[in-house]
Amino acid sequence: MPRFFYDTEFIEDGATIDLVSIGVVAEDGREFYRVSTGFDANKAGKWVREHVLNQLPPLSSPLWVSRSRLRDELLEFLTSGGKGPVELWGWMGCYDHVVLCQLWGAMPALPRALPRYTRDVRQLWEDRGSPPLPPVPEGAHDALVDARHCRDRYLAIKAAQPAAEGAPEPRVDSSK
């Protein structure tokens, strides 16, 4: 089962969650990063302006794409391995999952190849006794930096303590 660690940056106002960027790190080391051309930066709050928008690549970068192109490229990235169902992991990833699903519209429109939920590294950390985690890296709140950090946290949790009896053992090849 291909495993992916991801993070999104978004603007939200309590009613709408609007994708800014998404970063994904595959278990095999491949990476995906895109910025949506479909968000309205004028709706960003002070925190998003200070911590997210100022880290985005220049508007001239090919990483800025339409939501439809982002959606298509992301699906290709997530399914190109073709080895069973996709497994998604995020750090407190409930909002991330909603943003991801909204790329296709309503939840029923999500492609069959993608799971209807994101597994939570934060919850795994608590379940495993809250072992020490890697420090927050430089560039936090950049979606790709945060996706890498999510993977690194996962690997630290795996290395610190084996799964409880009956719990699924995390699978990541840490040599990559």
Q: Tell me: the pLDDT tens digits for 14-42?
A: 888 999 999 999 999 999 999 999 999 99
Strand order in 17-26's β-sheet?
64-65, 31-36, 17-26, 3-12, 87-90, 119-120
Question: pTM of the prediction?
Answer: 0.89
Rounded distance, CA 130 to CA 95, Å?
A: 22
pLDDT at 15: 84
Alpha helices in 26-172 (DSSP H): 46-51, 67-79, 94-102, 121-127, 143-160
Which 3 state secondary structure label does DSSP give 97? Answer: helix
Query: Could you tell me the pLDDT band of residue 114, with boundaries at 50, 70 and 90?
Result: very high
pLDDT at residue 81 tops 80? no
pLDDT at 109: 94
Which residue would you say has higher pLDDT here, 145 or 84?
145
Contacts of 5 (CB under 8 A, 6+ apart): 24, 25, 89, 90, 121, 147, 148, 150, 151, 154
Q: Tell me: the pLDDT tens digits for 46-76?
A: 999 999 999 999 999 999 999 999 999 999 9
Query: Could you tell me the pLDDT band of residue 169, with boundaries at 50, 70 and 90?
Result: low
